Amino acid sequence: MLKLPKLTIGNIKLKNCLMLAPMAGITDLPLRQLAVDGGAGLVFTEMVSATAMVYGDKKTYKLLTTSDKEKNCVAAQIFGTKPEIMSECAKRVQDLGYKIIDINLGCPAKKITKVGAGSRLLANPKQVENVLSAVVKAVSVPVTIKTRIGLLQGQNVAPEIIEIAQNCGIKMVSLHARYAEFAHSGDPDLEAFALACEGAKIPIVANGGIVDIKTAEKFLKIKNCSGLMIGRGAIGNYDIFKQIEYFFDKGQMTPPSTIKTRLRWFRQHAIDSIQYYGKEKGLVVLRKIAPYYIKGLPNACSIRNSFNKITTLEEFDKIFKNLE
């Protein structure tokens, strides 16, 4: 039977090899804390603009707020294209107490790629090398990268990027097994992922389309797969980390999360969000997340419309008190 690999990133030994993927506008402090409660061994901040941080943008620094609950299992993800800016940003992140710094080489969003960052960097391997080398030399903590198998279907550049990363001193690569042109749609390309893992001398963590034990197992069967990174499959379903860990440890399935469990997560998210953002903004920022909690509920559309109008926890309870 398959077992979850043990995973060490540089000098950091994780409690397990299961991670929450960084997601822009989603993996803020309140959500990361829920993922830690759900069993994630490592969580990542939202993408942080290196340029914005170097120029002292207050909103950017807010993204890097951490809590005691996650302080030993959180990594900061940064993005940019200029080695000197990226290295300065990395120094500042390290000064904040982060023990792992991650570089984004995979985001397909137009606002990121139009400036040459994110997945667009995959078209310029030399610049990738320049950026990675600069960041690694600037800090003493382990540096990792998150990337894609390539920009366009059939153009698997991951083996080349992984080789560059190894040579630059990168300690782990999380690899989204979809091409950037497909964003988050379609099945992951397991063959391309396997090819990228073949010659790897550092941990390669699988990402893309992992939503349950079955999809997790497909990646774990691949030689040199060192762990799993879960994104949208974990939102509102934070027990997925414990469920996967228990299955590959004990060989037994745990009961699936119930609607009651999901609503309990949702209420805790609301409480934490209000505490983090304040009463006026706390529930407003959850509007983009709400569909993950509400899906499958009776009259889900109506519930979502009602949720989008509330501003207090009391109104939250009024909507959901009869659904459990």
Percent of the chain with pLDDT over 70: 99
Across the chain, mean pLDDT equals 95
Helices (H) and strands (E) counted in the chain, each on its own, are 15, 10
Tokens standing for residue 91: 């120094």
| pLDDT confidence tier of residue 1, bands split at 50, 70 and 90 | confident
pLDDT at site 324: 57
Cα 298 to Cα 116: distance, rounded to the nearest angstrom: 44
Q: Is 225 a catalytic residue?
A: no
* For residue 106, pLDDT beyond 90: yes
pLDDT for position 258: 85
Lowest mean pLDDT among 47-51, 145-149, 259-263: 259-263
Average pLDDT over residues 304-317: 92
Backbone angles phi, psi at 75, to 5 degrees: -115, 150
Which residues are bridge partners to 172 per DSSP? 144
Is residue 87 very low, low, confident or very high in pLDDT (cuts 50, 70, 90)?
very high
Place of tokens 């407003």: 284
Q: Which residue, 269, 266, 272, 277, is CA-closest to 303?
A: 266
Phi/psi at 90 (5° precision):
-60, -40
Question: Pseudo-torsion of CA 86, 132, 178, 100, nearest 10°?
Answer: -70
Instruction: Please tell me which residue in 17, 89, 107, 168 is annotated as part of the active site.
Output: 107
